[in-house]
Amino acid sequence: MKVLVLGGGVVGVTSAWYLAQAGHEVTVIDRQPEAGMETSFANAGQVSPGYSAPWAGPGVPVKSVKWLMMAYRPFVFWPMPDPHLWKWLWQMLENCTTEAYDRNKGRMVRLAEYSRDVMCDLRKETGITYDDRQQGTLQVFRTQKQLDGAALDIAVLKQYQVPYEVLDREACVKAEPGLAEAAHKIVGGLRLPGDETGDAFKFTQTLAGMAAKAGVKFLYNTKIKQILSDNGRVTAVETSRGVMTADSYVLSLGSFSPALARPLGMDLPIYPVKGYSLTADITDAARAPVSTIMDETFKIGITRLGNRVRVGGTAELAGFSRRLRKPRRETLEHSVTDLFAGCCDVPGASFWTGLRPMTPDGTPIIGRTGLENLFLNTGHGTLGWTMACGSGRVLADIMSGKKPDIAYEDLNVFRYDLS
Ligand SMILES: Cc1cc2nc3c(=O)[nH]c(=O)nc-3n(C[C@H](O)[C@H](O)[C@H](O)COP(=O)(O)OP(=O)(O)OC[C@H]3O[C@@H](n4cnc5c(N)ncnc54)[C@H](O)[C@@H]3O)c2cc1C
My answer on whether 142 and 92 are in the same domain is yes
Q: From atom 37 of ligand 1, which residue's Cα is the shortest distance away?
A: 253
Distance CA 316, CA 75 (A): 6
Ligand 1 center to residue 323 CA distance, Å?
17
Q: Binding residue per annotation — 12? A: yes
Q: From atom 15 of ligand 1, which residue's Cα is the shortest distance away?
A: 382
My answer on whether 292 and 312 are in the same domain is yes
Sign of the four-CA dihedral 192, 193, 194, 197: positive
DSSP per-residue codes, 281-310: EBS-GGGS-SSEEEETTTTEEEEEETTEEE
My answer on whether 32 and 96 are in the same domain is no
For residue 298, the domain's CATH number is: 3.30.9.10
Q: Is residue 328 part of a domain?
A: yes
CB 58 within 8 A of CB 96: yes
Domain that holds residue 77: 63-103+129-196+271-358
Q: What is the mean pLDDT of residues 220-227?
A: 98
Closest ligand 1 atom to the C-alpha of 292?
8
Q: How confident is the model at residue 156 (pLDDT cuts 50, 70, 90)?
A: confident
Q: Binding residue per annotation — 7? A: yes
Closest CA to 264 of 232, 225, 223: 232
Ligand 1 center to residue 336 CA distance, Å?
24
The pLDDT value recorded for residue 65 is 75
| Contact 14 CB / ligand 1 (< 6 Å) | no
Q: What is the CA radius of gyration of the chain?
A: 20
pTM of the model: 0.96
My answer on whether 87 and 175 are in the same domain is yes
Q: Is residue 83 part of a domain?
A: yes
Distance CA 123, CA 220 (A): 26
The helix (run of H) or strand (run of E) holding residue 261 is: helix 257-261
CB 254 within 8 A of CB 9: yes
For residue 210, the domain's CATH number is: 3.50.50.60
Mutate to test the pocket of ligand 1, among 14, 39, 137 (most ligand atoms within 8 A of CB): 39
Q: How many domains does the chain have?
A: 2
139 pLDDT more than 90: yes
My answer on whether 70 and 192 are in the same domain is yes
Arithmetic mean of pLDDT over the chain:
95
| Contact 272 CB / ligand 1 (< 6 Å) | no
DSSP per-residue codes, 38-79: STTSS---EE-STT---S--TTHHHHHHHHHTSSS-SEEE--
My answer on whether 183 and 239 are in the same domain is no
Q: Convert the pLDDT of each residue in 290-341 to its tens digit.
A: 999 999 999 999 999 999 999 999 999 999 999 999 999 999 999 999 999 9
